[in-house]
Structure 1
């Protein structure tokens, strides 16, 4: 009996000693591991900061916009004093070269984009890669329109389209079709209303896009608040609509116009005046009502309005 009790005490003592040794060993291991964990945590934090920095460098829009919302077309926030906009990897929104209305004051109010002549059904494309923020219809304004936020900090708006081809929150690449040309909303004829905005503030697209030459104005555009107004006026002068374009065409003789059309095959346009009809325009431009309807994708019964642009050759 004495022997059994002594054996039990020996086993209990051994077990207690072993458990104490394991616990101490484990604590030593944790102690040795702690500096390594702190180093790994520091490395992970640094790596995360580098990733965020690279993402923000590649996507300046992350620095400019605090929120993402599908509720509003644009909301002006504070503009930076200067901001470099990357214009590389672009696509012209339309192949049309005809500007029908400049950025700036028009009819007593501010026209915050440029109007480019397109026809119903023409393909409209994303100017840069980015993410679609708004896809909507506005009866008294943009009609069918799309707003895209781009990685270079810009937001572009495409208005008066006949059809949407994208959805909100969809990622698009430069050149991807986003809609079709149209005459919806507050519009006097089929055209694309194109806006470029920075922090929700409308900038003159002519500062960045040269529709007549189907190109951008450079690899980058440096926005500066103190010189912007003058830069915008110069851009309109260099790349905007020539206000005498239609007047000079109207003052030309019918024989001259017929000669130009036959010899060069140039595309010509007529700006509708008050009181004009398809019949009077056809007679003035030495063509037919049928040809006008065919070129402009309209019917004989369709009402034309002053200021509307019609192709006649």
Structure 2
């Protein structure tokens, strides 16, 4: 018995460092696998699924109270700077417009805003987005590019910021060639103007902090960041003084921001920057 016990103890003693070494190897292999999966599926720690069918595919996602989005390493999706429609509710059509419309021409190059992976490449025909692309990015955002004339990437393809992904167009529910551009976090639309300054072809800041808000009833809601006050679309009967008063900004500031004068004639549908 004494001999057996001694043998067992020696065996255990010899095995212990082997077990520690194997544990270390297993841990490294697991870390390597996790890194590979994160590379293959950007935002893996945030998103519950990888879906190649729908823009909004995260009804069961757990939304953090706050999340800091890194905007560095960006590329503007188009070199055009004219915004033709803003983010927000459209009273006449009684529906939300979840992105910005930027004037582009058929055949213009559209580029990926950040590094990421192509999640959706679809064509809705004459409806909605028409030909569109969804990219999930390493920073946790997803971007949507709509009304394209041609998609030049495939689903599950990895892309770098600035890489051409499509050509501008006029497909889907569109009344003229333009790029419909959305930024979303876990499916929640965020006003792109809070992140991108198309006029200056730059980002607004190095980081954007997403904060989960509460509904008017006090219950937690996955609501969108509206960015109200950044832009205003001119309506019939609007004057600079009326717009300035409504937006809480001086007429001189409005003129400065939009490079116009007090004598400039406003056109219905014209988009003015207000802050």
**Fold similarity call, TM over 0.5:** yes
What is the Cα-based RMSD across aligned positions, in Å? 3.5
Instruction: State yes or no: 1:184 paired with 2:171.
Output: yes
SS of match in other structure, 1:75? coil
Asked if structure 1 preserves the Cα contact closer than 8 Å seen for 2:110 and 2:167, the reply is yes
Cα deviation for residue 104 of structure 1 reads 0.8
Q: Structure 1 residues 33 and 215, CA, compared in 2 at 3 Å: closer, same or farther?
A: same
5+ residue gaps, structure 2? 1-6, 215-220, 240-265
Match of 1:76 among 34, 49, 58: 58
Residue of structure 1 equivalent to 2:145: 158
Q: Deviations over 1:150-173 (max 9, x none)?
A: 111111110001011111111100
Asked if structure 2 preserves the Cα contact closer than 8 Å seen for 1:85 and 1:223, the reply is yes
SS of match in other structure, 1:83? strand
Residue of structure 2 equivalent to 1:256: none
Asked if structure 1 preserves the Cα contact closer than 8 Å seen for 2:189 and 2:225, the reply is no
Residue of structure 1 equivalent to 2:259: none
Q: Is the radius of gyration larger for structure 1 or structure 2?
A: 1
Q: Structure 1 residues 236 and 135, CA, compared in 2 at 3 Å: closer, same or farther?
A: same
Instruction: State yes or no: 1:148 paired with 2:148.
Output: no
Asked if structure 2 preserves the Cα contact closer than 8 Å seen for 1:206 and 1:236, the reply is no
The 5 A counterparts of 1:253-268 are none
Cα deviation for residue 185 of structure 1 reads 0.5
Instruction: State yes or no: 1:39 paired with 2:4.
Output: no
Cα deviation for residue 47 of structure 1 reads 3.1
Cα deviation for residue 46 of structure 1 reads 3.8
Asked if structure 1 preserves the Cα contact closer than 8 Å seen for 2:141 and 2:183, the reply is yes
Cα deviation for residue 45 of structure 1 reads 3.9
TM-score (norm 1): 0.63
SS of match in other structure, 1:212? coil
Between stretches 53-62 and 39-48, larger displacement belongs to 53-62
Match of 2:98 among 91, 107, 112: 112
The 5 A counterparts of 1:100-249 are 100-106=84-90, 107-139=93-125, 140-226=127-213, 232-233=225-226, 235-238=227-230, 240=231, 242-243=233-234
Q: Structure 1 residues 56 and 99, CA, compared in 2 at 3 Å: closer, same or farther?
A: same
SS of match in other structure, 1:163? strand
Cα deviation for residue 63 of structure 1 reads 1.2
- Separation of aligned partners in 1, 2:124 and 2:143: 17
Cα deviation for residue 241 of structure 1 reads 5.2
SS of match in other structure, 1:71? coil
Cα deviation for residue 176 of structure 1 reads 0.4
Higher helix share: 1
Asked if structure 1 preserves the Cα contact closer than 8 Å seen for 2:82 and 2:103, the reply is yes
Cα deviation for residue 39 of structure 1 reads 0.8
Residue of structure 2 equivalent to 1:12: none
- Separation of aligned partners in 2, 1:147 and 1:141: 14
TM-score (norm 2): 0.71
Q: Structure 1 residues 179 and 55, CA, compared in 2 at 3 Å: closer, same or farther?
A: same
Cα deviation for residue 237 of structure 1 reads 2.6
Asked if structure 2 preserves the Cα contact closer than 8 Å seen for 1:189 and 1:308, the reply is no
Runs of 4+ in 1 over 2 A off after TM superposition: 26-33, 44-60, 76-79, 226-233, 235-238, 240-244
Q: Structure 1 residues 215 and 229, CA, compared in 2 at 3 Å: closer, same or farther?
A: farther
5+ residue gaps, structure 1? 1-25, 249-269, 274-306
